[in-house]
Structure 1
Amino acid sequence: MASGVFLLFLLLSSSGSAPPPPPPRVSFLLNSADRPLVHFTAPGIYNTTTLLLSTDASTLYVGAKNAILSLNVSQHDIISLKNKVEWSPSPREINDCENKGKDPTVDCPNFVRVLQPLNSTHLYACGSHAYSPQDAYIEVDGLSLVKQRSGVKVRCPFNPFQRNTALSISGELFTATMSDFRGVRPTISRHFSKDGRPDVSQDSSVSLLEEPVFVGSALDSSERKLYFFFSEVGKEFSYTNELRVARVAQVCKDDVGGLRTLQKKWTSFAKASLLCQPPRQLPYSVLQDVFTLPPPEGSTASDTLFYGIFSSQWSSGSDSAVCVFRLQDVRSVFSGGYRSFDSQTHSWSPLQGKHTYLGQCGLEEFADPDLAQVKKSFLTSSAVQPVGNVPVLVSMGQSYSRVAAMTTQAVSGKQYTVLFLLTESGFLHKVVLSDRGPRLIEEIQVFAQVQQVKSIVLSSSKGVLYVGTCSGVTAVPVAHCASYRTCSQCVLARDPLCGWSRTKKICSRPSSGTSNMSQDVESGNVGRECQGQTGAAPRPGQDFLLRQRQNRKHDPSFTLH
């Protein structure tokens, strides 16, 4: 079987694909005057990589190395420090960490890995704390640490560099993390349970998860379910033990476990594969990040979209793909057929007969035989297919690590999706998904050195993307239309967030009720849109800004399949 897979890989690798479009039209190096960014750094502040934006988008809470910060982001041109609380391991705890074989300066500080709101007055935080996780309650007013506890083993990882995800809902905390010192025991759990319910975690008597790397989570409020996104080893493929598979797992928010079987364990746990595969190619099977885009106003929750970044286990290069999944399709897969695991043969097979209760909520009083079936039948038969059944974007030569997405209305009234993709080399790519395919409008350098740990938070209402890096926080406006100084430049940008005002003679953000603006997202027709407007168009074959890419490998080409 393994040789057949290798042959398939050779065949698919040699198959043709659509030629890539040109690289980004404009590129801005770090601190370019034409694409101003707002930075926050402070002496002694490092690893500012866990970000939480307040409901009113005026305060950015930051989990850092040995500290938690609150930053004032109410102004568009400055980020200032409001408060800081120190949260460091003691010298004795650092020494104990070192005695366990860890580097005292790299592994043993307290890296804050979970930062979530508990209520209107307090935040919850969990840190790696010298490889012995601790959690704390943080009072928002004044940012003071009011309660600290040790021995927390299932809310954030021991290893500060392992991925994890957490979500707070009405004061209850849902986490997916590695729960042991070695970092090999994954668990999805509910904490601070309300209404008399017990805390619930996953059943450890069976292998529900196989070496997972968690990347995100989301709430389906209308069905009271949560979804956790990750990659893991696909044990259902008998011909290899190392095939990585992208997954989504579900649990019911109010699950309480069974009466005898699965006591205080999820009875609703199920997982499904996420398929992201270009035509005639092997799947992009390693999920790097996921972003939840709420449905447009007036639409139902089932139209919620999940934008995922995928990499290829089969490629030796830095290729990435973006696939989009609709919530309704995720729901349908979990409502369909399941596979059953045979502990004797260690193999998966389609489950025969009707078992409509699998993957459903409210199983706390079901009979033991039914819950025994739940324990071994938690993998769906079908994979979740992406919208359109193909990736919306395939990037050759770029390794994307984080994604955010927003929708905006163009001057024509048409809705467009704008993606913000963070590369491993420190650039943010802004991509518009149009009828003619994805278009890379611009790339912006947001940090200078390659970094492993980073995060992004998008405020669509403010029009700002916050990037947390090892050295500080950077605010990136989603558009800087003033960079386009003529009508030709503005229209050629084909950016739905920018249009040329015929009356003011400037390129600016369209607003509701805007009239007499020139914009053409699909074609960039300067002759039609800029007729009668002054200003010299760019010389043929030359963009108005030079792409400065000296001394770095760069090939940001991508295709729509």
Structure 2
Amino acid sequence: MGRAGAAAMIPGLALLWAVGLGGAAPSPPRLRLSFQVSCPAELQAWHGLQTFSLERTCCYEALLVDEERGRLFVGAENHVASLSLDNISKRAKKLAWPAPVEWREECNWAGKDIGTECMNFVKLLHAYNHTHLLACGTGAFHPTCAFVEVGHRAEEPVLRLDPGRIEDGKGKSPYDPRHRAASVLVGEELYSGVAADLMGRDFTIFRSLGQRPSLRTEPHDSRWLNEPKFVKVFWIPESENPDDDKIYFFFRETAVEAAPALGRLSVSRVGQICRNDVGGQRSLVNKWTTFLKARLVCSVPGVEGDTHFDQLQDVFLLSSRDHRTPLLYAVFSTSSSIFQGSAVCVYSMNDVRRAFLGPFAHKEGPMHQWVSYQGRVPYPRPGMCPSKTFGTFSSTKDFPDDVIQFARNHPLMYNSVLPIGGRPLFLQVGANYTFTQIATDRVAAADGHYDVLFIGTDAGTVLKVISVPKGSRPSAEGLLLEELHVFEDSAAVTSMQISSKRHQLYIASRSAVAQIALHRCAAHGRVCAECCLARDPYCAWDGVACTRFQPSVKRRFRRQDVRNGDPSTLCSGDSSRPALLEHKVFGVEGSSAFLECEPRSLQARVEWTFQRAGVTAHTQVLAQERTERTARGLLLRRLRRRDSGVYLCAAVEQGFTQPLRRLSLHVLSATQAERLAGAEEAAPAAPPGPKLWYRDFLQLVEPGGGGSANSLRMCRPQPALQSLPPESRRKGRNRRTHAPEPRAERGPRSATHW
């Protein structure tokens, strides 16, 4: 408990702080890529998105990357699929694995929906050996497991169900398709956190398969597990001695240590068991004797109390050179009704182990308060594995009775596991989505190694976040680089896997599986400054374009600054940016004019300066009654003749100013506009050739004039005039005089330039 026990038990104070936090706007991505449903080909062409789905099949939850075979194995409703890692939409093989008819009928008789629940939803896939996978599914509320033959050779993919090796899936796969499966296969043994009964009330941590007897947690004991929701399971070595290996379970549950007055309080946990645990001799027979759990805290400290993100959603284990000390990246949401938010917290395994070596939580006193246990702890310490490293016991069956009894009554640790830096690495509050999944890649850049986070949401989007040092280590902060809309139906992301070898990310949802590249360097920009400001460790400026950074390749013009994103020195001699062309814009006195200027980066601030005709000085355009800044540009209302001049638009980001557009505004009187209109009507048909400038202008000011913006239909999303303020769309008002680029629904222009 520790800090968690103090702050979380006073939610009233924490929520006062949370109200202020909830009012904050979510961080915008630097680049947002979103596309119309009618144009999936554009996303494929420009950004390499590939998708896969089976007809009349849903719920693609289980993903398994096999780098050796170059295959992605997918578990879905009634199917297992084998896809190419290079392109999941090609060379796909599928294996039908429905539940038997009698199981479906029995499921329907039990009151379940035969069309949506009484199916075999494949929940887990594990590489069992060199030739087979272990697959487990719900089996229409009859959990079942099977061994799937996938063959030896990558050139000839095989996908066959082994009919002689079908096993009972109880304790391995959930009954209910709404429940998640969390498991890890170590050797031939499967460790899983699952509901072991039809009603979904007996949740257990279970060991099955292999040669040793099955083990489980103590049933129906809220001190061990209290309505848990299992998230992830990992096998993490403790030392060079395999007898010290432990299995770590990550889950959330209802807190038993919460004061009754606070009601049901959800908390996140990390639990441990020893891999060589074989249960007790006289007590805890066929039960875990080394099970311990500690609270996993992800909170923002505040003056009035901590704001907790208490709903653990997913955990990713990022390996390091020392396989005993990986980093744990976890995503959380909040159960608060006051505000909505999600966060990413990072934990070290040393901090997790330190919590399990700390004091045990103990309930005592007339008020049954949870305190730190101060009595004698028996030897060997509960939670320690029987091995020569820490003692002389060779088996948990040799543990003394007082050790077994203490372990049964004290599974909870008093100290919580706090994140590195004491706070979230990255959080979003008030966004229209919740974090659901996370995958992390460690990338070598010119100035060090960086962890890049890919965060799936319940809105069908993937966020790309980079962890950069902030001040002295270990403090770091997360910077949001990209937001990519992956699924056209905005289905929630249910699973993610990374192929670091192929630089691909695979994302699953209820409706489909998607594949995207880990980097889109060309989308960051076409000049050195834009590439440098992107701070993407995958990308660097090579003197000509923003391209993939290769640490092993030494090139003279390679420029990259991930830590600071400062192009001032790196790009000072860059000559790639073409000179700004001056675009003419025309307006009628008394009407409105819209000067379009949209930076590539949503994190940039736009500044406008104005130079009146015949004057050398530039003045800053300030917000006033007749001037309105929009996300797409500058709207000038009730034009006057003195508004004529040159307007310069510049983007300011990371203290760097980058000129974007130079627009020359000419304000005409009503008489001039009428005279030009009359001249156009009286003029004979012009021979083929360049149009006079006033004819382009008349097309824009006349009702129904086509204009270039209206003639560019095609398939791509257009920044239509509907997004401008109403006054800029009225009859006689000036419209844009240049063709728009295809773009995302708002914000940056991606690589989709014409």
TM-score, reference length from structure 2: 0.68
Specify whether residues 84 and 243 from structure 1 end up closer, same or farther in structure 2 by C-alpha distance, changes over 3 A only.
same
CA distance in 2, matches of 1:91, 1:16: 53
What is the alpha-carbon distance in structure 1 between the residues aligned to residue 327 and residue 537 of structure 2? 20
Pick the aligned partner of 2:77 from 65, 82, 85.
65
Q: 2:574 aligns with which of 525, 528, 532?
A: 532
Q: 1:203 aligns with which of 206, 218, 241?
A: 218
* CA distance, structure 1, for counterparts of residue 369 and residue 533 of structure 2: 56
Which residue of 1 is the match for residue 34 of structure 2?
A: 29
Q: Is the 8 A contact 1:340 1:378 kept in 2?
A: no
Supply the distance in 2 between the matched residues of 1:94 and 1:343 (Cα, whole angstroms): 52
Distance of 1:537 and 1:95 partners within structure 2: 72
Per-residue deviation at 1:80?
2.5
Q: CA deviation at 1:127?
A: 0.7
- Of 282, 291, 307, which residue of structure 1 is paired with 2:307? 282
Same amino acid, percent of matched pairs: 31
Q: Distance in 1 between matches of 2:365 and 2:116?
A: 41
Pick one of 251, 273, 285 that aligns with 1:230.
251
Which whole-Å CA distance do the structure 2 matches of 1:213 and 1:514 have between them? 49
Is residue 2:10 matched to residue 1:5?
Answer: yes
Q: Any conservation in 1 of the 2:229–2:252 contact (CA below 8 Å)?
A: yes
- 1:385 alignment counterpart: 418
| 2:173 matches 1:156 | yes
Would you say 1:404 and 2:439 are equivalent positions? yes
Question: Is 2:18–2:338's contact at 8 Å kept on the other side of the alignment?
Answer: no
Query: What is the deviation of 1:266?
Result: 0.7
**Residue 422, structure 1, aligned to residue 446, structure 2:** no
- CA shift, 1:6, in A, is 5.2
Give me the whole-angstrom Cα distance separating, in 2, the residues matched to 1:2 and 1:331: 23
**For the structure 1 residues 153 and 16, does the alpha-carbon distance in structure 2 shift closer, same or farther, using more than 3 Å as the test?**
closer
Spell out, residue by residue over 1:409-439, the C-alpha distance to the aligned partner (whole angstroms, 9 max, x if none): 2122x11111111111111110111135321
2:534 to 493, 499, 508: 493
Deviations 1:297-349 (A, max 9, x none): 3xx23431111111112244431011101011111111221123579987644
Checking the alignment, whether the CA contact within 8 Å between 1:133 and 1:150 is kept in structure 2 is no
1:346-391, Cα deviation, whole Å (9 max, x unpaired): 7644322234511111232112222111101110010011111111
**Structure 2 counterparts to residues 453-532 of structure 1, below 5 A:** 454-483=494-523, 484-502=525-543, 504-516=544-556, 517-530=558-571, 531-532=573-574
Matched residue of 2:221: which SS? Answer: coil
Distance 1:129 1:488 in 2: 56
Compute the displacement of 1:108 (Å): 0.7
Match of 1:360 among 384, 388, 403: 384
**RMSD of the TM alignment (CA)?**
3.1
Give 1:282 shift. Answer: 2.1
Q: Per-residue displacement from partner, 1:442-468 (whole Å, max 9, x unpaired)?
A: 111110224356210112222111001
Structure-2 change in CA distance of 1:301 and 1:189 (3 Å): same
AA paired with 2:191?
Answer: F
Aligned-partner Cα distance in 1 for 2:398–2:437: 41
SS at match of 2:330: strand
Match of 2:599 among 542, 550, 559: 542
Within 5 Å, which residues of 2 pair with 1:11-160?
11-13=16-18, 22-30=27-35, 31=40, 32=43, 33-56=45-68, 58-73=70-85, 75=86, 77=87, 79-141=89-151, 142-146=158-162, 147-149=164-166, 151-160=168-177
Q: Which of 295, 308, 315 pairs up with 2:330?
A: 308
SS in 1 for 2:102: helix
- Point out the more displaced range, 7-16 or 223-232: 7-16
The amino acid across from 1:210 in the alignment is N
Q: 1:190 to 1:313 in 2, by over 3 A?
A: same
Q: 1:252 aligns with which of 274, 288, 295?
A: 274
Corresponding residue number in structure 1 for 2:713: none
SS in structure 1 at match of 2:289: coil
| 1:190 alignment counterpart | 207
Alignment-mate amino acid for residue 334 of structure 2: S
Displacement of 1:40: 1.9
Moved more, 38-47 or 232-241: 38-47
Secondary structure at 1:34 match in 2: helix
The aligned length equals 546
Provide the rounded CA distance (Å) in 2 between the counterparts of 1:400 and 1:285: 13
Indicate the residue corresponding to 1:440 in structure 2. Answer: 480
Structure 1 pair 345/158, CA: closer, same or farther in 2 (3 Å)? farther
Q: 2:235 aligns with which of 219, 222, 231?
A: 219
Q: How far off its partner does 1:179 sit?
A: 1.1
**Structure 1 residues 100 and 510: CA distance shift in structure 2, 3 A:** same
User: Could you tell me how far 1:4 is from its partner in structure 2?
Assistant: 8.5
Segments of 5+ residues of structure 1 without an aligned counterpart are 556-561
1:81-102: CA deviations, max 9, x gaps? 4432211123332221111111
Deviations 1:86-137 (Å, cap 9, x if unpaired)?
Answer: 1112333222111111111111110001111221121111110111111111
Amino acid at match of 2:183: A
Write the letter of the residue equivalent to 1:523. Answer: N
Q: 1:114 to 1:322 in 2, by over 3 A?
A: same
Aligned equivalents of 1:553 and 1:501: distance in 2?
A: 30
8 Å contact from structure 1 (residues 488, 537) kept in 2: no
Q: Give the structure-1-normalised TM-score.
A: 0.90
Q: Deviations over 1:454-512 (max 9, x none)?
A: 2101122221110012232211111021223322321121111100112x544223332
- In structure 2, list runs of 5 or more residues that go unmatched: 1-5, 152-157, 239-243, 387-395, 471-476, 581-595, 603-630, 633-716, 724-743, 748-754
Residues 542/97 of structure 1: CA separation in 2 closer, same or farther (3 Å cut): same
User: For 1:344 and 1:79, how far apart are their aligned partners in 2?
Assistant: 65
The 3-state SS of whatever aligns with 1:380 is coil
Q: Does 2:342 align with 1:340? A: no
SS of the counterpart of 1:403? strand
Contact 2:359 2:414 in 1 (8 A): yes
The secondary structure found in structure 2 opposite 1:292 is: strand
Q: Do the aligned residues in 2 keep the contact of 1:492 with 1:525 (CA within 8 Å)? A: yes
Q: Residue 225 of structure 1 contacts residue 252 of structure 1 at CA under 8 Å; is this kept in 2?
A: yes
Q: 1: distance between equivalents of 2:176 and 2:290?
A: 29
Residues 379/544 of structure 1: CA separation in 2 closer, same or farther (3 Å cut):
closer
Q: In the alignment, residue 434 of structure 2 is paired with which amino acid? A: S
Shift of residue 528, structure 1, vs aligned partner: 2.0
User: For residue 206 of structure 2, what is the amino acid of its counterpart?
Assistant: S
User: 1:374 matched to which residue of 2?
Assistant: 407
Q: State the 1:221 CA deviation.
A: 2.1
From the CA coordinates, give the structure whose radius of gyration is larger: 2
Q: How far apart, in 1, do the equivalents of 2:366 and 2:171 lie? A: 30
| Number of the residue aligned with 1:558 | none
Q: Give the Cα separation in 1 of the matches to 2:8 and 2:325.
A: 41
CA distance in 2, matches of 1:388, 1:18: 24
Of 125-134 and 3-12, the range deviating more from structure 2: 3-12
Whether the aligned pair in 1 keeps the contact of 2:316 and 2:329 (CA below 8 Å) is: yes
